[in-house]
Structure 1
Amino acid sequence: MSTIAIIGAGKGLGLAVARRFGREGFAVALLARSQDNLDTLTDTLWTEGIHAVGLTADVRDPGSLQVALDRAASALGPVEVLQYSPVPAPEFMLPVLDTAASDLVGPVEFSIYGPVTAARQVIPGMRTLGGGTVLFVNGASAVRPNGAVTGTSIAFAGGSAYAQLLHDALAPEGIHVGQLIIPRGIGGGDPTHHPDAIAETLWRMHSERGDFRTFLAPLE
């Protein structure tokens, strides 16, 4: 059985992706900070016939992230697909003139240190499988800096650079790294931004292994 690990799993996109990959026979490891929320999600997936486990982790705590991913591999087998899609905290999104150096610590831990820790933890397992996929999900500020959300703009840019470098380094090994850019956020009444539609896009990114970067919609 193949395994997908979803970091930042919630009742929106995380659950939709778990269902989409679950329909393809994947076991699902859900990682988030709240065990209560994880229990609700895993119970839902089990009732739908999807093998799922919920593991607590804080992406700003490398040790907890490493332990959770190790536990996922022990319980379900090596992670074939990793999705990194936690939602940034509101305090990461200050206007540029209100942003001090100390305000960048959280965003950098969240959007650079977290992805690096997670990727390095699962890549050895992907190599044993002969391939895998790493999916990063970001907002538009990852490619177009926005002075109203300075922390995420800066940190997303660093995370994007890392993801691009990872893509180039791992492609010869059969490990695909892709980044999905979601302008205007998830939901909002736009059918293309519904969690189920985004989950379908992420499935195609894994199964078709196209370009590094995919835009859910054109940038405005």
Structure 2
Amino acid sequence: MTTFALVGAGPGLGLATARRFGTAGHSVALVSRNAEHLEELTAELAGDGIRARGFTADVLDPASLTTALGTAADALGPVEILQYSPVPRADFMRPVLDTGADDLDAPLSFSVKGPVTCVNAVLPGMRDLGRGTLLFVNGGTAVRPHPDRAGTSIAFAAESAYARMLHDALAPENIHAAQLIIPGAIRPDAEHSSPAVLARRLYDVHVARDGFRHFAEPLPE
């Protein structure tokens, strides 16, 4: 059995995606800095008959990410699918004219160093399997920067560039890197951006392995 590792586990999209991959037969490794939330999520997944465990780590602490993903692979099986989708902090979204160089340290650690650390942690296992999927989930500022959200606009663009390079470099090894852009808010009642719909979309991206960038819905004009 292989593992679906979710970095940024939460009760919305994270839980829905964990449920979708878990019902497909994968073990589920939930990574979050909130241990209490992890206990609640793993209990809910266990109620669905899904083998899941939580692992505490902070995406701003690379060593904790490496440890969490290594422990997850040892406990549950090699990571075949990695989803990187933590929610950015509100203070990342300063207006561009109020953003200094130091204000970019945390957003870039969050959206660049975090993903790089996670990929380096799971890539050897994917290579041993001979297959793998790397899923990156970003907001609309990844492709359309917003002057009132400078931190995420800059950091998401950098994450997008990294993910795109992985897509090209790893394709010959049967490891598929893809990005899902969610332009608006994730809401239970949204036609295209509810947690359940997005979870199905991410699973379909994993299975189809078709192209790099996907959109949950068109970007607003």
User: TM-score range, shorter-chain basis?
Assistant: over 0.9
Question: Are 2:13 and 2:196, in contact at CA under 8 Å, matched by a contact in 1?
Answer: yes
Contact 2:29 2:55 in 1 (8 A): yes
Structure 1 counterpart of 2:126: 126
**Amino acid in the other structure paired with 1:96:** V
Shift of the alpha carbon at 1:48?
Answer: 1.0
* SS of residue in 1 equivalent to 2:79: coil
Q: What RMSD, in angstroms, separates the aligned Cα atoms of the two structures?
A: 0.7
1:119 partner SS: helix
Structure 2: how far apart are the matches of 1:2 and 1:188?
Answer: 29
Q: Match for residue 13 of structure 1?
A: 13
1:14-63 residue CA offsets vs partner (Å, 9 max, x unmatched): 10001101111110000000100000000111111000000000011000
Give a deviation string over 1:119-162, Cα, whole Å, max 9, x none: 01101000000110000000000011111100000000111000
Structure 1 match to 2:199: 199
Work out the CA distance in 2 between the residues paired with 1:131 and 1:162: 19
Contact 2:188 2:195 in 1 (8 A): no
Amino acid at match of 1:190: A
Which residue of structure 2 aligns with residue 108 of structure 1? 108
Per the alignment, in what secondary structure is the counterpart of residue 133 of structure 2?
A: strand
The residue that corresponds to 1:73 in the other structure is 73
The TM-score normalised by the length of structure 2 is: 0.98
Using the alignment, how far apart are the partners of 1:149 and 1:30 within structure 2?
Answer: 28
The residue type paired with residue 29 of structure 2 is A
Q: Matched residues in 2 for 1:3 and 1:188: separation?
A: 26
Paired residues for 1:3-42 under 5 Å: 3-42=3-42
Paired residues of 2:95 and 2:148 also in contact (CA < 8 A): yes
Distance in 2 (CA, whole Å) between partners of 1:192 and 1:165 is 27
Identity within the alignment, %: 57
User: Which residues in structure 2 correspond to 1:115-154 (within 5 Å)?
Assistant: 115-154=115-154
**Distance in 2 (alpha carbons) for counterparts of 1:132 and 1:78:** 10
Counterpart CA distance in 2 for 1:158 and 1:45 is 33
User: Cα offset for 1:189?
Assistant: 3.2
1:210 maps to which residue?
Answer: 210
CA separation in 2, counterparts of 1:114 and 1:69? Answer: 12
Supply the AA of the counterpart residue of 2:138.
N
Secondary structure of the residue aligned to 1:193 is coil
**DSSP 3-state at the match of 1:161:** helix
TM-score, normalised relative to structure 1 = 0.99
Distance in structure 1 (CA, Å) of the matches to 2:96 and 2:44: 41
Structure 2 unmatched ranges of 5 or more: none
The ranges of structure 1 where at least 4 consecutive aligned residues each deviate by more than 3 angstroms after the TM superposition are none
